[in-house]
Amino acid sequence: MDLQNLSNQQLIQRCLASDQVVWTEFLRRFERPISMVVIRTLRRRLRPTPTLVEDLVQNTYLKLLDDNCKALRIFKAQHENSIYGYLQVMASNITQDYLRKLDAKKRDSRVEQDIEELPPDLISDRSATREAEHRTEIRQVEERLKRITTGTEQEIFWLYNRWGLTAKEISQIFQMNIKSVENMLARILRLLREDFGKGAGS
């Protein structure tokens, strides 16, 4: 059976039956709405970074897995898409908890977060090594972006390239016209290529 054809309720029931393959479809289906809530909640207070967003998204998944998937077991669907609202509220609460902990620290202190990794068997096609490589690549791009672009440009770049927002969706968030967003993305990509080219030639 094609997992993408499962209804949300069928998918949840299969996940509760400890079907590891189905969890991959769960992550694929709900990663974007969870990520968008995390990003929007963070933006009220600070500039989201890809690694921070990924950590908070993973914490949302861990909350679902905690105590034998208790959060999913107690979920009662009112309609087919109820799960979206449920997950979005959970992601928002987890992100707000992070921000509250951030506020509890002194302004110049470094916040230490005990972010756990997803269980290695949850996503069968991503090894721990590949995950480490993925994060290293993101950090390298982040460092280059900080040198050659503004904070707003960095946000727009990641919203488009990491979280899959369209130019139209980004324009609505930043109250820009679509063409300006498209031009900015093209400019950032050109600057990155030039910067990587300099590194290769040095």
The whole-number average pLDDT for the span 121-132 is 54
Q: Where in the chain is the domain with CATH 1.10.1740.10?
A: 1-106
CA–CA dist 20, 123 (Å, integer): 8
- Mean pLDDT (the chain, rounded): 82
Kindly report whether the global pTM for this prediction surpasses the value 0.75: no
Interior/surface letters 128-152, b for 16+ CB within 10 angstroms, e for the rest: eeeeeeeeeebeebeebbeeebeee
Closest by CA to 84, choosing from 10, 168, 169, 9, is: 9
Instruction: Extract the tokens encoding 150.
Output: 């503004």
Give the CATH class of 1-106.
mainly alpha
Which residues, in sequence order, are CB contacts of 86 under 8 Å at separation 6+? 75
What CATH number was assigned to the domain covering residues 127-196?
Answer: 1.10.10.10
Residue pLDDT, tens place only, 78-116: 888 899 999 999 999 999 999 988 887 644 454 344 444
User: Which segments of the chain belong to CATH 1.10.10.10?
Assistant: 127-196
Instruction: Say whether pLDDT at 173 is over 70.
Output: yes
- Give the pLDDT score at 139: 81
Sort 115 into a burial class: Cβ within 10 Å, 0-12 / 13-18 / 19+: middle
Confidence of residue 117 (pLDDT cuts 50, 70, 90): very low
* 136 confidence band (pLDDT: 50, 70, 90): confident
- Average pLDDT rounded to a whole number, residues 176-188: 93
